[in-house]
Amino acid sequence: MEKSSLSLLTRVEGEGRANIVVGDGKIKRIEVHIFEAPRFIEFGLKGRKPIEAPEITSRICGICSVSYQMASAKAFEYGMGIEVPYEEEEMRKAIFINEHIKSNVLHVLYLQLPDLLNASSSLEVFNKNPEIYKMATDLFMWSRKLMKVLGGRFHNIVNIRVGGVYSMPEKKEVEALSSQSERAITYARKLSEFVLDNQDKFPSYEQKIKPLVLCDSIEYPFISRNICSDEMRFEISKFEEEVVPEQVPYSNSLRYRLRSGENYVVGPISRFNTSFYNLRGEVRRMLKSYGYMPPLKNMSYSIVARIAELYEFILRITDFIDNYRYVQVNEKSFEIKEGTYYGAVEAPRGILYHRYTVNKRGLIEDANIIPPTSQNLISMEAFSMYHLEKIGLINKAEQLEKAHQEVQKIIRLFDPCISCSVH
């Protein structure tokens, strides 16, 4: 006879719980329950104009709203042949990079680091390391200030549109940010080294991590028309042919696996393992000095991928600030064409996919949005079981409290955004 043991997920965005199913004295399986109510955003897009889609979809998430705006805008721009002026595209990339900075600071310092250090909370970490707390807070506040100047608001910004941006900030506003740039680089480096100095805390076992990631032969992947996974490579319009949705009674979110039946992982660790050599030289040298090279073979190392990205993106955005050039934004008009349009970006948590069908009246007739958290749900369950087996808890059903603590740690490695998954 099987029994369920439930625990609410903590230190994640949204509402869910872990269910450990036990029977015959063993842990039989792990289930990630998503009970947060769906919001039917795709249905709400029906009958709306394509130019409205970036704003509507950005309300799906308060942390990665820029990712939704970019995926939506890119879908229509590519499909309808809409050109984005160079300076406006650079501006959008800077906003997008800054979203990754904010998200990585939050996840590394407040979510995963306490687990790595076996602390009860981030407060315990900060009480023991007040310098780390100050650096993390300063970095986060700096990224918020950047978002306000470049995007118009601290979060859920309002400056990205189909065809570019609504406005460019004055040069003096951007130059004012540069006074803190050097300090941000120093803090990013020190925070990275603090994490890497704790490498003895990582689990010693290895696991197979099947990546699915946007691929770019030149740049660290953010926006691309192609998706890669080991030997596979396909255009984003084939995405819904290559991944298969699943529905389970305990989750309001769909889940996905590859057409081959394999589960896969999207997010920083997949980007790191496939695009390490597209990081800057100083970032790669820092990682190599601590012995970190791709592939990272345990999901716990996702914190290494995140601090690598944090350092990389702060270097990139300081370059943008130093070389910023103001241009006047002109009014845009373009012909809305009937058709089906595809967009994909690397959100902080992984691939974010959008598909829109526009009818002959120029209105959205159908939409499908697949966020990264939905794609990682099956791996969260599989990796949790694997972890319990490796640390010797799989046959100890009497130690459920300890098992729940370990399962929650594994789920947090994926930085799930449950609200995104039930959009």
Could you list the residues known to form a binding site for Ni(2+), using ranges.
61, 64, 417
- Contacts of residue 92, defined as CB under 8 A and 6 or more positions apart, other chains included, come to 70, 73, 84, 160, 164, 165
Binding site as annotated, residues for Fe cation: 64, 420
Task: With beta carbons less than 8 A apart as the criterion, state whether 276 and 309 touch.
Answer: no
What backbone torsions phi and psi does residue 330 show, to the nearest 5 degrees? -95, 155
Task: Fill in the amino acid letter for 126.
Answer: F
What's the gap between Cα 253 and its chain centre?
Answer: 17
Query: Tokens in use for 194?
Result: 């603090």
Q: Where are the alpha helices (DSSP H) in 290-399?
A: 302-322, 372-390
Residue numbers belonging to the annotated binding site? 42, 61, 64, 369, 417, 420, 423
Q: Are strands 26-34 and 364-370 parallel, antiparallel or unpaired?
A: unpaired
Please confirm whether the linkage preceding 50 is cis (ω < 30° from 0). no
For the annotated binding site for Mg(2+), the residues are: 42, 369, 423
Q: Exposure pattern of 233-271 as b/e (b: 16+ CB <10 Å)?
A: eeebeebeebbeeeebeebbbbbbbbeeeebbbbbbbbb
